[in-house]
Amino acid sequence: MNNATSVAEFLLLGLSRSLKVRLLLFGLFSTAYAMTLAGNAIILMLIWLDSRLHTPMYFFLSNLACVDICYTSSTVPQMLINLQNPSKPISLAGCALQMYVFLILATTECFLLAVMAYDRYIAVCHPLHYTSVMNKQVCINLAAATWTSGLLLPVAHIVLTWRLPFCGPNLIDHFFCEIPALLKLACADTHIVEKLTSVGCIFTLLFPITFIMMTYIRILTSILKIQSVQGQHKAFSTCASHMTVVILFYGAAIYMYMRPESSHSPGQDKIISLFYSVVIPLFNPVIYSLKNKEVKGAWIKILQKCEVGLFPPS
Tens digits of residue pLDDT in 109-155: 999 999 999 999 999 889 899 999 999 999 999 999 999 999 999 99
- Residue 276's pLDDT band, with cuts at 50, 70 and 90, is confident
Question: Coil, helix or strand for 153?
Answer: coil
Q: Is it the case that residue 68 has pLDDT exceeding 90? A: yes
Q: Is it the case that residue 193 has pLDDT exceeding 60? A: yes
Which tops the pLDDT comparison, 157 or 2?
157
Q: Under 8 Å CB-to-CB from 295, ≥6 apart: which residues? A: 43, 46, 53, 288, 289
Tens digits of residue pLDDT in 38-57: 999 988 988 888 888 889 99
Q: Is it the case that residue 28 has pLDDT exceeding 50? A: yes
Q: Is it the case that residue 271 has pLDDT exceeding 50? A: yes
Question: Coil, helix or strand for 112?
Answer: helix
Q: Which of 133-142, 181-190, 202-211, 292-301 comes out lowest in average pLDDT?
A: 292-301
Q: Is it the case that residue 298 has pLDDT exceeding 90? A: no
- pLDDT at position 86 is 86
- pLDDT at position 151 is 95
Sign of CA dihedral 208, 212, 213, 215: positive
Length in residues, the chain: 314
Packing angle between helix 76-84 and helix 56-73, nearest 10 degrees?
Answer: 20
- Note if the bond before 169 is cis, omega within 30 degrees: yes
Using CA atoms, how far apart are residues 215 and 237, in angstroms rounded to an integer? 16
Q: Is it the case that residue 310 has pLDDT exceeding 80? A: no
- pLDDT at position 277 is 86
Contact criterion met (CB below 8 Å) for 297 and 288: no
Indicate the helix (H) or strand (E) that contains 15: none
Phi, psi of 153 (to 5 degrees): -60, -40
Q: Is it the case that residue 299 has pLDDT exceeding 80? A: no
Would you put residue 168 in left (φ > 0), alpha (ψ -120 to 50) or beta? Answer: left
- Residue 230's pLDDT band, with cuts at 50, 70 and 90, is confident
As a whole-number percent, the residues of the chain with pLDDT over 90 amount to 42
- Residue 304's pLDDT band, with cuts at 50, 70 and 90, is low
- Residue 1's pLDDT band, with cuts at 50, 70 and 90, is very low
Contact criterion met (CB below 8 Å) for 7 and 170: yes
Contact criterion met (CB below 8 Å) for 219 and 124: yes
- pLDDT at position 224 is 86
Domain boundaries 9-310, corresponding CATH code? 1.20.1070.10
- pLDDT at position 2 is 46
Tens digits of residue pLDDT in 247-267: 999 988 888 887 776 666 778
Question: Coil, helix or strand for 91?
Answer: strand
Contact criterion met (CB below 8 Å) for 83 and 29: yes
